[in-house]
Amino acid sequence: MNAEPEPGSPRDDSRRTFLKQSSLLTALALVPGPVVSAAEAKLDERVAESIEQVPLSLKVNGKKLKLSVEPRTTLLDLLRENLHLTGTKKGCDYGQCGACTVHVDGQRVNSCLSFAVMHEGKEITTIEGLADGDELHPMQEAFVKHDGFQCGYCTPGQIMSAVACVREGHAGSAAEIREFMSGNICRCGAYSNIVAAIQEVKKGGQKV
């Protein structure tokens, strides 16, 4: 553990504004770095002293965070309730809909079915982290262009999944896209437009 605060950690002044806005300060117990590192070392081999709070370092949308969470907090609840990144949706909370899809170290997963503490040291990307500043991600643009949504509730999960689907090389045909997008349910039935959006991005050949 380095003595300097990591950029983006709660002790880094430049992040203060972000923290205030997100009311992270009230939602999370802030643990000084050295304490976190001592507790982490113990956590790996011995029983956590407390079932209340466990230290957790994550990178979320490029920002390094040092947090303290209850072990029973899911990654989805951490993102939405603690970090106020509400773009990621809770549809079913049981792995059955895909609304909560995020990328962990580049792989798409259902954030509702894992505990946040299991992602120690990992890099999380949510829908908020997909755009490049004000520049929409090509998949976001394609969804807009092709009307890939109606109510929009499933859309963040669809887009995160769609980006992964193309990156994995599973967007070769409409049939393959349908199979590899089957983990994202859309109650509005925007499926054909979603397939069209993904096909356009795939054909465009841009880096996604």
Partner 1 sequence: MNQFQYIRPTKQQAAIDAVAKDPNARFIAGGTNLVDLMKRGVMTPQKLVDINRLPLNKIEHQNNGLSIGALALNSAVAEDRQVREKQPLLALALNAGASPQLRNMATVGGNMLQRTRCAYFYDTTMPCNKRQPGTGCGALEGVNRMHAIFGFSDKCIAVHPSDMSVALVALDAVVQVSGPQGNRSIPFADFHRLPGDTPEKDTNLEPGELITGVDVPDGPFTKHVHYQKVRERASYAFALLSVAAALDIDGSNTIKAARLAMGGVAHKPWRLTAAEQALVGKLATEETFRQAAAVAMQGAKAFKHNAYKLKLGPNAIVQALKTAAAA
Ligand X SMILES: Cc1cc2nc3c(=O)[nH]c(=O)nc-3n(C[C@H](O)[C@H](O)[C@H](O)COP(=O)(O)OP(=O)(O)OC[C@H]3O[C@@H](n4cnc5c(N)ncnc54)[C@H](O)[C@@H]3O)c2cc1C
Instruction: Return residues touching ligand FES (CB under 6 A).
Output: 90-93, 95-100, 110, 112, 149-155, 186-188, 190
Tell me the closest approach of the beta carbon of residue 15 to partner 1, in angstroms: 27
- Can residue 81 be called a binding residue for partner 1 (CB under 8 A)? no
Residue 165 interacting partner from ligand FES, partner 1, ligand X, none (CB closer than 5 to 8 Å by kind)? partner 1
Q: How many helices (H) and strands (E) does the chain have?
A: 8, 5
Contact 64, 7 (CB under 8 A): yes
Please tell me the distance from the alpha carbon of residue 136 to that of residue 119, in angstroms, as a whole number: 27
- Can residue 118 be called a binding residue for partner 1 (CB under 8 A)? yes
Q: Half-sphere exposure of residue 164, counting CA atoms within 13 Å on the CB side?
A: 25
In which residue are the tokens 């979320």 written? 60
Tell me the closest approach of the beta carbon of residue 97 to ligand X, in angstroms: 8
In which residue are the tokens 């609840």 written? 77
Contact string (CB under 8 A) for partner 1, positions 9-48, x = contact: ----------------------------------xxxxxx
- Give the DSSP H or E segment for 65: strand 63-69
Sites of contact with ligand X (CB under 6 A) = 95-96
